[in-house]
Structure 1
Amino acid sequence: MIIKASTSLRNDYATISDLAHREEEPIYITKNGEGDLVVMSIEAFERREETLKLRARLEAAERSRLAGDATYTIEESRKRLEAIYNREDA
């Protein structure tokens, strides 16, 4: 976890920006000793957003599976995937 004071952001933006891109993780900015902001590179933010979207889809699929909705055997899954990939190759 990277923590920097707000004065670092105000006085040395370039260093904070370089750090965000290099470390690829959030930088916590404090103000008067308390947490205030989180700064991160756009690339890291977009990766995080995609991960959260994927996690939500996986959780929805697991809830559906546990509820007994739309479950498939391995053979049914294989056939469905083959149909998808064969369609894309055409």
Structure 2
Amino acid sequence: MPNIKSSTELRNNYNEISKFCHDHEEPIFITKNGQGDLAVMSIEAYEMLTGKLELYRALDEGRAAVKAGKTRPLSDVMQDLRQEITDGNL
């Protein structure tokens, strides 16, 4: 169930809201004049969320490449990765 607070509560209880966001790694939804206005979350939760979005984007690119027939043998890919690691490029 979403945690909803007013903008007044955010202003008056910032430390409590900050602690909740860090302890639970989930957003608090802030309302203004009774309407949804903001979602507040810890930096850690935000970075995790954006990391997931980047991963989903990369997976979609991979699926599109497979559908377009742009594939390579796994052994070639692994050899290239090992070489990049050896060269210090990864």
> Are 1:25 and 2:13 counterparts?
no
What SS does the corresponding residue of 1:68 show, helix, strand or coil?
coil
Aligned to 2:72: 72
Distance in 2 (alpha carbons) for counterparts of 1:41 and 1:79: 39
> Between Structure 1 and Structure 2, how many residues are aligned?
88
Unaligned runs of 5+ in 1: none
1:78 Cα deviation after fit: 4.3
Distance in 2 (alpha carbons) for counterparts of 1:47 and 1:41: 10
Q: Please, what is the CA RMSD of the aligned residues?
A: 2.0
> Are 1:63 and 2:64 counterparts?
yes
Distance in 1 (alpha carbons) for counterparts of 2:15 and 2:59: 38
| TM superposition score normalised by structure 1 | 0.79
Distance in 1 (alpha carbons) for counterparts of 2:39 and 2:9: 13
After TM superposition, the structure 1 = structure 2 runs for residues 34-45 of structure 1, keeping only pairs within 5 Å, are 34-45=35-46
| TM superposition score normalised by structure 2 | 0.79
Distance in 1 (alpha carbons) for counterparts of 2:72 and 2:3: 45
Distance in 1 (alpha carbons) for counterparts of 2:83 and 2:62: 21
Percent pairwise identity: 43
What SS does the corresponding residue of 2:9 show, helix, strand or coil?
helix
Q: Which deviates further from its counterpart, 9-18 or 41-50?
A: 41-50
Displaced runs of 4 or more, over 2 A: 72-88
